[in-house]
Structure 1
Amino acid sequence: MAARLESVAKYICERTGWTKSNLELQKLLYLAQMFHMGRNNGARLFDGEFQAWDYGPVEPDLYHRAKIFGADRVQDIFHNALTFKESDPRRKVMDDVCAKFAKYGAGDLVDITHWDEGAWARNYVPSRRHIIIPDREIWEEYNTRQERARERRSRGVQS
């Protein structure tokens, strides 16, 4: 069962010490959704749809809630968020994404999610909003990224 968007957003904000801007949070949420789908046969981590905006994938409901912070770090606006139990397997995906990607700033996260072979790139039309990135393509992006990583490893290239 998919979690609430605000529950996932709050969990990621807590794991990153409430240091992420709306833009950074959007990219971490996208990566968390993608990793969860990839590891769980296409099942969503949270309810919500990503759209292909100029600066990458954006979940518009969260964007509009958090835009009050501008480029500053998002504060706790997630008053109806539920807490994930210690035994909840969804925590592993979010923890893995935070461990791997939270060290990056906005520019690097945009670069990561703008990957030429990714779902955002296949759906993006410059200066247009409301273009939904299909879940199937997000799931396919995970699988393609994993395949490319295996190819690099087999050639002895570090990822």
Structure 2
Amino acid sequence: MATVTVFDVAKYILVKRGDMSAMKLQKLIYYSQAWSLVWDDVPLFDNRIEAWANGPVSPDLYSRHRGQYGVSAWDFRADATGTLSEKQIETIDAVLEAYGGKSAQWLSDQTHAELPWKKARVGLLDSDRSNSPITYESMAEYYGSL
């Protein structure tokens, strides 16, 4: 069985919720990873998440949607080759229940207020470019304490 990647999660979210802005998808991906670390004690996928100016971003996912405002499941069909487990689907569904109705801007603002993004950007202005990783440890520690 193929390993689950950020593309598998993106495709699942887009099939489930429909087309959305790339920024919203990135934040839902981030929260799916964070809550998987808390609830399931394992990363949902191995792709890196970085603390960009607009909030957490998967550079691998970004490389596929660069220049697009909106994204659809179709955009990731070639890269989404893994199969999500029932537990992974439950985690993503719970994240979509909690965060799926929020706007991209709300999600971005929320991530800016939370410690994992802030810790990865210590010493930077909000507008500064950065490719600092948001670590599994900082996500699990912060979201696990909520």
TM, length-normalised to structure 2 = 0.87
- Is the counterpart of residue 9 in structure 1 residue 10 in structure 2? yes
- Report the alpha carbon displacement of residue 49 of structure 1 after superposing the two structures with TM: 1.0
- Report the alpha carbon displacement of residue 39 of structure 1 after superposing the two structures with TM: 0.6
Paired residues of 1:24 and 1:109 also in contact (CA < 8 A): yes
- Is the counterpart of residue 22 in structure 1 residue 13 in structure 2? no
- Report the alpha carbon displacement of residue 115 of structure 1 after superposing the two structures with TM: 2.1
Q: Which has the higher contact order (CA 8 A, sep 6+)?
A: 2
2:86 aligns to what?
A: 88
Matches within 5 A, 1:120-139: 120-124=117-121, 125-126=124-125, 127-139=128-140
Question: What amino acid is aligned across from residue 5 of structure 1 in structure 2?
Answer: V
Question: What amino acid is aligned across from residue 40 of structure 1 in structure 2?
Answer: D
2:30 aligned counterpart, secondary structure: helix
Question: What amino acid is aligned across from residue 116 of structure 2 in structure 1?
Answer: A
Matches within 5 A, 1:92-107: 92-107=90-105
| CA-to-aligned-CA distance 1:102-125 (integer Å, 9 cap, x gap) | 111111001221124x20011112
RMSD, aligned CA: 1.8
Counterparts of 1:82 and 1:88, CA distance in 2: 16
Counterparts of 1:99 and 1:67, CA distance in 2: 27
Larger Rg: 1
TM, length-normalised to structure 1 = 0.80
Q: Gaps (5+ residues) in structure 1?
A: 147-159
Percent sequence identity over aligned pairs: 30
Question: What amino acid is aligned across from residue 15 of structure 1 in structure 2?
Answer: K
| CA-to-aligned-CA distance 1:13-42 (integer Å, 9 cap, x gap) | 111112x1111111000000001000122x
Counterparts of 1:54 and 1:39, CA distance in 2: 27
Counterparts of 1:5 and 1:82, CA distance in 2: 10
Instruction: Give every structure 1 segment of 4 or more consecutive aligned residues whose post-TM-superposition deviation is greater than 6 Å.
Output: none
2:113 aligned counterpart, secondary structure: coil
- Report the alpha carbon displacement of residue 80 of structure 1 after superposing the two structures with TM: 3.1
2:53 aligns to what?
A: 54
Q: Gaps (5+ residues) in structure 2?
A: none
